[in-house]
Structure 1
Amino acid sequence: MNGATGLSHAAETPAPGRQYSGHNRISTQALTSLAKAAAAEALGIHAHDVRADWTDDDGLLALSLVAPIRVPSLAAVLRDPGRVQALGGSIWERTVHARAGILSTVTELSGARLSRVDIRISGAHVTEGGRVQ
């Protein structure tokens, strides 16, 4: 997707008795902000820690994300090995689950048609307690 192009849709369902011309456009910046927020929520981190890039994939959008992931401290895991499962499993399992959730959220909220979401975990945000604030 061209960074200046964004996502546009023609007006599809005008109000009864009225016809509207024009189009709606969701900028690449807005899509990127949405993707970063969805990834941050899914990975338990801050949105500013996420990098998002878009590419064209045969007419659909492909989203590539680079981000750290929240993990419990090793001391916390040694005290309570169940902490790993409480967070949703291993880093791999959580990333697979996050990918599906991000794709669903971005598609539902933007109306964009995504072909795939690729995630590269770039590090770990170690936490003792609850979610990152």
Structure 2
Amino acid sequence: MYKATTQQIQVTVEPSFLESESAPDDSRYFWAYTIEIANLGDAVVQLRSRHWRITDANGRTEEVRGAGVVGEQPVLKPGETFSYTSGCPLTTNSGIMVGSYEMEGENGDLFSIDIPAFSLDLPDQRKTVN
């Protein structure tokens, strides 16, 4: 499990390799990751957008940006959490993901929170943050 807290917003990530969705002979590896976003502060916030940097074992990096997450832009009141699961395909058997969410406060101000770097490793591999 990986955690980061920025401006009283905590992001926790739990990645898992999906063997049933992977085909190593075809250089296809697939991971799911579950993210929980917790509002530890005392103000309402809304997740507006995401930015990911995904790097495979060969050093190839892809950047992904978009509105919200899994089609939603959740509003989190103080003490509330929002969880979702998504996935990441790679052509190598390991990689790393890191990113940020753009949040909007009650006053309309936008601010960025960190998504912790997390490794995508096969279950029998030693865990590393490439």
More strand by share: 2
TM-score, normalising length: structure 1:
0.27
More helix by share: 1
TM-score, normalising length: structure 2:
0.27
